[in-house]
Amino acid sequence: MKAKGFFVTGTDTGVGKTVVAAGLVAALQNLGHNVGVMKPIATGGVKRRPNLVSPDAEFLAHVADAPEPLRIINPIILAEPLAPSVAARRAKIEIDLDLVRRSFEEIAAAHDLVIVEGIGGLLVPIISRTYRVADLAAEMGLPLIIVVRPDLGTLNHTLLTVEVARSRGLKIAGLVVNNYDADTADIAVETNPAELARETGLRVLAIVPHDTDTDPAKPALGPAVIEACQAIDFERLLR
């Protein structure tokens, strides 16, 4: 699988990968890029007759104004909000990685860049004990953008994620601190962005603020998220 773009992962579930991925899409489109989106595997699907649908995939498709149907953008969707390996086992189905590969190749062929949003963190099992999110990222060959929390505990979570990525030979484009609320920031939140850069040796590409105008359920992407992502030096990252 060959393409240009970024694989958006996070230090854990709920860190805001979808919002950051959407912000990246909007910022890159504003720079004139033709951007495709993909959520290869999702769990916690919502019933939309007759199919299950991933709200995350719907949001990315909306922001990107994607021409592809959701079955291509999100080829694997499982009902229960669990790790993919667990949700698939409980549903008594097998995850078809070839379906993911074909969908990725179709999207990559139609766009200059692809933003792929992973599921959970890098060690989340897709196929139990044999294939994890990190393996999917390695196959796609896209540099990682790691979404991290701003608050206490983020140093440990981020360092663990970076160590896993480096141990597997994955290229890391940088970190994005998400949901930063300057009005309520304590000393940990204030000092963490600089410490994250110092401890990992990576760039903090953007600090995305808490944005009440952003609501994937509507769906709506607030201007503060887009503005923060537009500050990223994409020209350097895409060389």
151 secondary structure, DSSP code:
S
What Cα–Cα distance (Å) separates residue 206 from each residue in 65, 131, 177, 198? 24, 30, 6, 15
Q: Is the pLDDT at 161 greater than 90, yes or no?
A: yes
CATH number, domain with residue 26: 3.40.50.300
Burial of 38 (0-12, 13-18, 19+ CB in 10 A): buried
Residue in 2, 17, 39, 47 annotated catalytic? 39
From CA 109, how far away is CA 65, in angstroms rounded? 17
pLDDT (0 to 100) of residue 50: 85
> Is the model's pLDDT at 35 over the cut of 90?
yes
Q: How confident is the model at residue 203 (pLDDT cuts 50, 70, 90)?
A: very high
CA–CA distance, 79 with 52 (Å, rounded to integer): 7
CA atoms of 225 and 208, how far apart (whole Å): 6
pLDDT grade, residue 27 (50/70/90)? very high
Write the pLDDT tens digit of every residue in 82-135.
Answer: 999 999 999 999 999 999 999 999 999 999 999 999 999 999 999 999 999 999
Q: Determine the pLDDT at residue 139.
A: 97
- Non-local CB neighbours of 172 within 8 Å, separated by 6+ positions: 143, 144, 146, 162, 165, 166, 202
Position 70 pLDDT exceeds 90: yes
Mean of the pLDDT values across residues 17-25?
A: 98
Q: How many domains does the chain have?
A: 1
Percentage of the chain beyond pLDDT 90 is 97
Please confirm, yes or no, whether 39 is among the known catalytic residues.
yes
Residue 90's domain comprises 5-237
Model confidence, pTM: 0.97
Dihedral, CA atoms, 209, 210, 211, 216, nearest 10 degrees? 110
Length in residues, the chain: 239
In a 3-state reduction of DSSP, which class is residue 146? strand
Residue 49: per-residue pLDDT: 77
Average pLDDT of the residues of the chain: 97
pLDDT at 1 over 80: no
Higher pLDDT, 192 or 50: 192
Percent pLDDT > 70 in the chain is: 100
Confidence check: pLDDT of 2 > 80: no
Residue 156 has pLDDT above 90, yes or no: yes
Would you state the pLDDT for residue 213? 96
pLDDT of 133 reads 98
